[in-house]
Structure 1
């Protein structure tokens, strides 16, 4: 819903699981939660609609009785909002084992008015022949997905994640062509974009969202992917591929925003990746953000002392500012407060321009 792949979710449940899920990824301001007709004016681009009210509502307003479920909704808010939401090109019913009067009536009206221009599907873990809802809604086998709600959403999330990866791969290819990072003899891209795609595709949508949030220095666990993010991510990924190739190292990504370079009989090198373009960050601002991040890092989680960034405003500093310590002859790594907090900064262009920069980055 944050990405706009789903417009609306209508739930017949009273519990707040969906609302809590939005809070968990920091998306409550991106998706509207409608608990009843009194919040109708808050409808937005994407909405979670509690058709029968949520548990926070007045107990008298909860739709519980047979009469309320089958007939009392007629000419009421429930009928209007169901028609509005189900008028989307594709509607998926999930986890519905029995009839719901307002949904059945709305689906019949839409089919009558729009015919094949509206598609109704049902996701349900049981067999099609045993689904009363499928029979009542006249949903045939071709529009029946034999999956439960959670499994169906995972499949949908993975499908969308692959589309996201493809967008980034295309941006990597376009950037490589634009900058001339192409073998002049074969015309092939110098960096292994296929390997980058493989690493990203192995994640799920939430893991990659958390990784993107770390690169963007976002406080939210899942930021919406913008076109500008794709460009910056492509720049970072191609820099990672360049270091991997030039230093003959393998690599993997950590959801905390790090890339870990690996090699045979060589200590791992942990590099923090940062995109400074989304908020017009300067180097000192990034340093401040990373110091704060170190202070909040979970016990036992290793940080990085080298930073590889793209899109940062201003000249790259030669060393950390302000000074690490005002006390001479003190080993900063022995500090019980934050240990060795010095950062070295590298831009994605630095590693291509400066000789031995990649090796220095991994040192």
Structure 2
């Protein structure tokens, strides 16, 4: 089943906050996160516990059920430590986020996803938040006692995580009931699942630690009249967790975690493209600019993908984070740059390709030029903007494998570019030395120079 229209509509709502994700081990199983699935992890730990003499071979009736293993260990030692210390803690601690996690983190920054409830112990989701530069936009909560940390956008580690005390990891039957009754239920019901759309993903296992929690969450949703969606690459079966939760074929999306997030991201990108198209038309009309056909230009920029375009947008707006949320950016600032790209493309009959570094390559026949795009956002003076552009495109891209620009087109600078006596080297024969990055032949042009001088626009690619 493809993504249903109500979910596609919810993810693109401009007021945001319409979707909550509930994630299981299947999300962390995908590369490059590569954390084992719950059943495989439980079985491997149970084998170690028996081999190390911690448990008798018959101590646990179902070694593939982590709750069963945890109950057996606690029954003998009144502690979970022997179990927890045999888990792949380093792998969980240093878990690399896969694309699904990165998109989820970026969507939280956008406000399209209001909350993520994860039942996993690894930190892939936290690392994803750091990788996109979420900063203070998203709150992270690991225990009911931390409820005061909740904000508008939240990640909740419902069972604790690898940073929690080993006795606080929620694995045992008694913990599942006690923690839910003493704290989590009110938080989940009131804050996490208040969004009209809830999606379960990566929850194919029927381990007790999952089925018990998922049953409680389903009860909360049912009381609010919410029917959750279920994402899983396997077909629905009578012995699976989806069937036990009452998931119907209409609620089931048969696909993997990252593919699901990619399709949601494509829908959100479509909404962003509409907004940019409108902003371009409004800017051209109000500023007396040529009404460029920006459709092809926007389409070409979308080839970067959701995350790549967010990275490029950060460079264009001289941001300091790896990902710049579209929802927190002025679309007319981006529109100003895209109108200029479309103008050059039209006048030179050039092919255009965008790079995640923020650079654009114009090609005409066997000639090409790589151009950086940047906006002073209406607040940066030329000297300040120039310094930030050189830092953004050279110091910060010292290890970047993408395009290296020779020129920069700058918009959004009050007063524009000051008059400079030395002529600009358009031939590329000269070399300007930078104490930051060595040879740095980056020459800056004001956006209106390019728009108003056809000869200059043609010489750019000479």
Cα separation, partners in 2 of 1:286 and 1:206, compared to 1, 3 Å: same
Q: Deviations over 1:8-51 (max 9, x none)?
A: 10011111010011111111322111111232111011111001
Flag structure 1 segments of 5+ consecutive residues without an equivalent: 183-189, 325-330
Superposed displacement of residue 277, structure 1: 0.9
Alignment of 1:1-363 (within 5 A): 1-69=108-176, 71-84=177-190, 85-97=192-204, 98=206, 99-112=210-223, 114-115=224-225, 118-130=226-238, 132-181=240-289, 190-226=291-327, 228-265=329-366, 267-277=367-377, 280-292=379-391, 293-298=393-398, 303-319=404-420, 332=431, 338-341=437-440, 343-363=442-462
Q: Deviations over 1:105-125 (max 9, x none)?
A: 34224423x33xx23111111
Superposed displacement of residue 4, structure 1: 0.6
Flag structure 2 segments of 5+ consecutive residues without an equivalent: 1-107
| Matched-pair contact (CA < 8 Å) for 2:362–2:368 | yes
C-alpha separation between the residues in 2 aligned to 1:336 and 1:285? 17
C-alpha separation between the residues in 2 aligned to 1:51 and 1:244? 51
| Matched-pair contact (CA < 8 Å) for 2:122–2:161 | yes
Cα separation, partners in 2 of 1:302 and 1:105, compared to 1, 3 Å: closer
| Matched-pair contact (CA < 8 Å) for 1:78–1:102 | no
| Matched-pair contact (CA < 8 Å) for 1:346–1:361 | no
TM-score (norm 2): 0.68
C-alpha separation between the residues in 2 aligned to 1:148 and 1:311? 42
SS in 2 for 1:129: coil
Cα separation, partners in 2 of 1:39 and 1:95, compared to 1, 3 Å: same
C-alpha separation between the residues in 1 aligned to 2:396 and 2:221? 52
Superposed displacement of residue 301, structure 1: 5.9
SS in 2 for 1:96: coil
Return the structure number with greater relative CO, CA threshold 8 A, min gap 6.
2
Cα separation, partners in 2 of 1:155 and 1:320, compared to 1, 3 Å: farther
| Matched-pair contact (CA < 8 Å) for 1:95–1:124 | yes
Superposed displacement of residue 93, structure 1: 0.8
Superposed displacement of residue 311, structure 1: 0.7
- Taking only aligned residues, the RMSD between alpha carbons, in angstroms, comes to 2.8
Q: Deviations over 1:154-185 (max 9, x none)?
A: 22222212222222122122223334556xxx
C-alpha separation between the residues in 2 aligned to 1:131 and 1:229? 50
